[in-house]
């Protein structure tokens, strides 16, 4: 946080807002306009915007939609954490379930909120994560508390017989997310291999990893999983048909 405040003054939290719907994004910005201790320093509409603006502005907090065109919010979060960026990330989603929460927090999020969160609660969450805490629903954790919560959540979601909890709900790599996008378009492993210029076996290996990380049985389940949670954008009737029938 900004340490250039006069001694005794309340420190101002710098906030970046990234959501691809302009009206919703402006609504988020308006929520913070009446709070003197939070300053919105920038806004964006894509994952690429988020990466660029965080590196340029180094905000205390990033308010980030998961469902973004191009690079989704989970991928943005993973990349920023791998770059050792200190910005606390609050992930917003319209699809609220246990699996989405686990993926959001495992990716490196500091908090997870459904998009219908009450404005005053969202303001409070921004303040908490700016002070190094983690927030999931109504629970607040320090780093150790979050780890314990995640371990318990993964075990509950996968069952007590899992071999390695670190294989499930782990962030997909950029390549895996790219392959998952093609899967949602109905492309076969062979077609994906040709498009990406990699071997058929390499695609199969990536698919095995994707299924394990998502804790699903087959590629159709993986496609529905990603579409429902807003990780990829349905852009044709085939994908919408897939959603309707599952």
- The residue-averaged pLDDT of 65-87 equals 93
Q: What is the pLDDT of residue 160?
A: 55
Q: What is the pLDDT of residue 80?
A: 95
- What is the length of the chain? 246
pLDDT in tens, 126-136: 999 999 999 99
Task: Please determine, for residue 32, whether its predicted confidence score (pLDDT) is greater than 60.
Answer: yes
Task: Please determine, for residue 243, whether its predicted confidence score (pLDDT) is greater than 50.
Answer: no
- The residue-averaged pLDDT of 185-193 equals 94
Cα dihedral across residues 45, 46, 47, 51: positive or negative = negative
pLDDT in tens, 33-55: 999 999 999 999 999 999 999 99
- The residue-averaged pLDDT of 71-96 equals 93
Element holding 42 (H helix, E strand): strand 38-44
Q: What is the pLDDT of residue 159?
A: 64
- Listed in sequence order, the residues at least 6 apart from 160 whose beta carbon sits closer than 8 Å to its beta carbon are none
Q: What does the alpha-carbon distance between residue 1 and residue 60 come to, in Å, rounded to a whole number?
A: 6
* Pairing state between β 111-114 and 134-136: parallel
Q: Which two tokens stand for residue 76?
A: 């943005």
Say what the alpha-carbon torsion angle 111, 117, 121, 126 is, to the nearest 10 degrees: 40
Which domains are present in the chain? 13-150 (3.40.50.2300), 172-244 (1.10.10.10)
pTM for the whole structure: 0.81
């Amino acid at each position: 946080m900004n340490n250039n405040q006069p001694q005794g003054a309340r420190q101002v939290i710098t906030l970046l807002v990234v959501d691809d719907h302009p009206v919703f994004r402006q609504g988020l910005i308006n929520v913070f306009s009446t709070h003197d201790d939070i300053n919105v320093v920038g806004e964006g509409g894509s994952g690429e915007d988020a990466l660029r603006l965080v590196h340029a502005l180094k905000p205390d907090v990033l308010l980030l939609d998961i469902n973004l065109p191009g690079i989704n919010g989970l991928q943005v979060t993973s990349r920023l954490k791998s770059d050792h960026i200190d910005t606390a990330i609050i992930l917003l989603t319209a699809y609220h379930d246990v699996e989405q929460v686990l993926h959001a927090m495992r990716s490196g999020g500091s908090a997870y909120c459904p998009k219908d969160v009450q404005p005053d609660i969202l303001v409070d969450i921004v303040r908490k994560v700016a002070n190094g805490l983690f927030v999931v629903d109504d629970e607040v954790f320090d780093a150790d508390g979050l780890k314990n919560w995640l371990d318990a959540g993964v075990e509950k979601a996968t069952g007590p017989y899992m071999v390695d909890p670190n294989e499930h709900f782990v962030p997909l790599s950029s390549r895996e997310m790219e392959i998952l996008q093609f899967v949602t378009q109905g492309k076969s492993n062979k077609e994906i291999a040709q498009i990406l210029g990699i071997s058929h076996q390499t695609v199969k290996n990536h698919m095995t990893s994707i299924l394990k990380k998502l804790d699903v049985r087959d590629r159709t389940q993986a496609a529905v999983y990603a579409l429902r949670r807003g990780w990829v954008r349905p852009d044709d009737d085939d994908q919408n048909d897939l959603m309707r029938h599952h």
